[in-house]
C-alpha cells in the first residue's frame, strides 16, 4: 500500500517524539553520563531528526500531489472568470448590436414609460445572454 | 412646466428601474474581502522558510551535508509548486475582485451615441437629452450590476469545492503540520548542537557566554518563524471561512450579515498580514 501524506506525517511525528525523549534524557543526565555515551545518544537524536525531516518533505510532496485535481478545477474556474470579464468588456458592443439603446431612445422620444421599461428589460436580457 | 415634469418622470423612472433591475446590488464587501485575500496570498515567506530549512540546518549537521543537499533540492521544487498553488488562489481572488468592482465598464461612448442621436433629431430640448443620457447610464450600470452579481455568484459556486480542498485541506495541513514540524526539527538541531558544545566544556567563560548568546539568538529566530506560521495559518483559515460564507450566501451577496462578516474578516486578514510582516 502506498504511503499517504498522513502516514508520512505520523512517521515524522514518531521520529520527532523519539528525539524528544533522547533530548530529555540528556538534559536530565548529562552531568553523570560519559562523553562518549552523550555523543552516541546525541548522534542518535540527530539521526531521528533527519528521519523526521525526510518524512516532512515526503508529506509535503504527497500533499502537493493530492491537490492536483483541486488545482485543475480551480484553474477552470479562473478561466471562466476571465471569460466573464472579457464578456463584460464587450457588453457595450452587444447592446449596440441588439439595438437596445435605439429602442430606449425611441421610448424617451415618445415619452412612453412602457416602451422605456420594455427597452431596458431587453437590455438586461441581452446582457444576461451575452 | 410640462417639460420639467417629463424630466422628473424620466429621473424617477430611471431610479426605480435601476433598483428593480439590479436589486440595488452592492458587491463592495466581496471586492474588499477578495482584494485583501489576494494581497495576503502574496505573503508566502513561510514557503521560502520551509525550502531553506535544509540549508540552515546543514550548518549544525555538517557530517551529513549530502543528505541536506538532497533535501534542499527536493524542497526547492516543492516550493515552486506551492507558490504556483498560492498564485492560483491569488488569480482567483483577483478575478473575483475585478468582477465585483464598480465601474469595470465604461458606457460613456454608448451613452454619447444615444444623446447625440437624440440631439440630432432636433425634437428634444437640451435638458431632456441630458436626462435621457442619465437614464441610459443608470440603466446600463444597473443591468451590468445585476449581471455581475449573477456571474460572481456562479463563480463562487464553482470555485468553493476546489478552493476549500486546497485552503482548508492539503495546504492547511502542509502549513500547520509540516511547516510547524519542520521548525521543531530545526529547534532540535539547535538544541543538540549548542547544548553539546556548552556541556562538554573546555571553552573560556567568555567563549561560553558568546556561545550561549548565539544559542538564544538562533532560538529566537526559530520562534519568530513559528509566529509567522501561526499568522499565515490564520490568514488561510480566514480566506477559507470568508469563501465558505460567500458560497452559503451566493444568491444574496449583499446580505447585511454577510457584508458585515466579510468586512470583519478582511480587517482581520490585514492584521494577520501585519503580524506576518513583523515576524
Domain of residue A14, residue span: 1-66
A58 with A84, same domain: the answer is no
State chain A's mean pLDDT as an integer.
83
Q: How do residues A24-77 score in pLDDT, each as one tens digit?
A: 999 999 999 999 999 999 999 999 999 999 999 999 999 999 988 888 988 888
Examine residue A2 and state whether it is found in any structural domain, yes or no.
Answer: yes
Can you give the pLDDT at residue B193?
97
Cβ–Cβ of B6/A111 closer than 8 Å?
Answer: yes
Cα A59 from chain centre: 17
Averaged over B236-265, what is the pLDDT?
87
Give the gap in angstroms from C-alpha B275 to the nearest C-alpha of chain A: 25
ipTM of the complex: 0.78
Please check the confidence at residue B22 and state whether its pLDDT lies above 50: no
Cβ–Cβ of A64/B85 closer than 8 Å?
Answer: yes
A61 with A84, same domain: the answer is no
Residue B143's pLDDT band (cuts 50, 70, 90): confident
Tell which of A66, A100, A116 closes a domain. Answer: A66
Can you give the pLDDT at residue B251?
86
What is the tally of structural domains in chain A? 2
A51 with A3, same domain: the answer is yes
Examine residue A71 and state whether it is found in any structural domain, yes or no.
Answer: no
Residues in chain B with CB shorter than 8 Å from the CB of A117 are: 13, 17
CA distance A107 to B277: 58
Can you give the pLDDT at residue B274?
80
| Weakest-pLDDT range from A4-18, B162-176, B216-230, B264-278 | B264-278
A62 with A8, same domain: the answer is yes
Cβ–Cβ of B75/A16 closer than 8 Å?
Answer: no
Can you give the pLDDT at residue B172?
93
Most confident of B53-57, B99-103, B154-158: B53-57
A3 with A57, same domain: the answer is yes
Please check the confidence at residue B21 and state whether its pLDDT lies above 50: no
Cβ–Cβ of A9/B166 closer than 8 Å?
Answer: no
A61 with A85, same domain: the answer is no
Using an 8 Å Cβ cutoff, are B53 and B182 in contact? Answer: yes
Q: What is the pTM of this model?
A: 0.77
Where is pLDDT greater, at B117 or B194? B194
Question: Cα–Cα distances in Å, from A40 out to A35, B57, B268?
Answer: 9, 20, 49
Give the gap in angstroms from C-alpha A39 to the nearest C-alpha of chain B: 8
Residues in chain B with CB shorter than 8 Å from the CB of A23 are: 188, 191-192
Q: Among B10, B121, B147, select the one facing A128 at the smallest CB separation.
A: B147
A48 with A101, same domain: the answer is no
State chain B's mean pLDDT as an integer.
83
What percentage of chain B has pLDDT greater than the value 70? 86
Tell which of A43, A66, A89 closes a domain. Answer: A66
| Weakest-pLDDT range from A109-118, B34-43, B177-186, B259-268 | A109-118
Collapsing DSSP to helix, strand or coil, B89 comes out as helix
Examine residue A74 and state whether it is found in any structural domain, yes or no.
Answer: no
Cα B248 from chain centre: 19
CA distance A57 to A45: 19
Where is pLDDT greater, at B53 or B115? B53
Residues in chain B with CB shorter than 8 Å from the CB of A81 are: 92, 95-96, 99, 155
Which A residues 33-72 touch B at CB under 8 Å? 35, 38-39, 42, 45-46, 49-50, 52-54, 56-57, 59-61, 63-64, 66-67, 69-71
Can you give the pLDDT at residue B2?
47
Q: Among A42, A76, A111, select the one facing B192 at the smallest CB separation.
A: A42
A95 with A52, same domain: the answer is no
Please check the confidence at residue B199 and state whether its pLDDT lies above 80: yes
Helix axes A35-66, B180-200, angle to 10 degrees: 170
A114 with A62, same domain: the answer is no
Cβ–Cβ of B105/A71 closer than 8 Å?
Answer: no
The answer to whether A86 contacts chain B (CB < 8 Å) is no
Cβ–Cβ of B9/A113 closer than 8 Å?
Answer: yes
Examine residue A101 and state whether it is found in any structural domain, yes or no.
Answer: yes
Considering just the CA atoms, what is the radius of gyration of chain A in Å?
A: 34
| Interface with B, mutate which of A72, A120, A121, A125 (most B CBs under 10 A) | A120
Averaged over B163-188, what is the pLDDT?
95
CA distance A105 to B117: 8
Question: Cα–Cα distances in Å, from A26 out to A10, A34, A64, B55?
Answer: 25, 11, 37, 26
Where is pLDDT greater, at B138 or A72? A72
A1 with A39, same domain: the answer is yes
CA distance A18 to A23: 9
Amino acid at each position: 500500500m502506498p504511503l499517504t501524506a498522513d502516514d508520512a506525517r505520523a512517521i515524522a511525528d514518531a521520529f520527532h517524539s523519539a528525539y524528544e525523549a533522547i533530548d530529555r534524557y540528556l538534559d536530565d543526565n548529562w552531568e553523570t553520563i560519559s562523553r562518549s555515551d552523550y555523543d552516541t545518544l546525541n548522534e542518535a537524536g540527530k539521526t531521528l531528526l533527519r528521519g523526521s525531516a525526510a518524512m516532512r518533505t515526503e508529506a509535503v510532496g504527497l500533499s502537493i500531489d493530492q491537490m492536483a485535481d483541486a488545482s485543475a478545477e480551480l484553474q477552470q474556474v479562473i478561466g471562466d472568470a476571465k471569460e466573464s470579464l472579457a464578456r463584460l468588456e464587450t457588453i457595450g458592443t452587444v447592446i449596440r448590436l441588439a439595438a437596445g439603446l435605439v429602442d430606449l431612445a425611441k421610448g424617451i422620444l415618445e415619452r412612453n414609460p412602457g416602451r422605456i421599461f420594455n427597452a431596458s428589460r431587453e437590455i438586461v436580457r441581452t446582457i444576461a445572454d451575452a | 412646466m410640462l417639460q420639467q415634469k417629463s424630466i422628473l418622470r424620466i429621473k424617477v423612472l430611471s431610479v426605480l428601474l435601476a433598483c428593480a433591475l439590479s436589486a440595488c446590488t452592492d458587491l463592495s464587501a466581496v471586492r474588499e474581502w477578495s482584494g485583501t485575500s489576494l494581497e495576503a496570498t502574496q505573503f508566502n515567506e513561510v514557503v521560502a522558510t520551509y525550502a531553506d530549512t535544509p540549508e540552515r540546518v546543514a550548518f549544525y549537521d555538517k557530517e551529513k551535508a549530502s543528505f541536506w543537499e538532497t533535501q534542499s533540492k527536493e524542497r526547492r521544487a516543492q516550493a515552486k509548486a506551492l507558490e504556483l498553488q498560492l498564485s492560483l488562489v491569488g488569480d482567483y481572488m483577483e478575478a473575483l475582485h475585478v468582477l465585483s468592482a464598480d465601474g469595470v465598464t465604461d458606457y460613456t461612448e454608448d451613452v454619447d451615441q444615444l444623446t447625440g442621436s437624440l440631439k440630432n433629431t432636433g425634437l428634444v430640448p437640451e435638458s431632456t437629452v441630458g436626462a435621457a443620457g442619465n437614464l441610459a447610464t443608470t440603466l446600463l450600470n444597473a443591468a451590468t450590476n445585476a449581471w455581475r452579481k449573477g456571474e460572481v455568484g456562479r463563480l463562487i459556486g464553482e470555485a468553493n469545492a476546489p478552493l476549500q480542498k486546497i485552503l482548508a485541506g492539503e495546504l492547511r495541513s502542509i502549513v500547520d503540520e509540516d511547516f510547524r514540524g519542520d521548525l521543531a526539527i530545526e529547534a532540535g538541531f539547535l538544541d543538540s548542537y549548542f547544548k553539546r558544545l556548552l556541556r562538554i566544556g573546555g571553552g573560556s567563560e567568555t567563549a561560553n557566554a558568546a556561545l550561549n548568546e548565539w544559542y538564544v539568538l538562533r532560538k529566537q529566530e526559530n520562534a519568530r518563524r513559528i509566529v509567522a506560521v501561526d499568522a499565515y495559518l490564520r490568514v488561510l483559515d480566514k480566506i477559507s471561512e470568508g469563501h465558505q460564507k460567500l458560497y452559503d450566501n451566493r444568491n444574496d451577496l449583499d446580505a447585511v450579515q454577510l457584508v458585515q462578516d466579510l468586512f470583519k474578516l478582511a480587517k482581520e486578514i490585514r492584521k494577520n498580514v501585519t503580524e506576518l510582516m513583523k515576524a
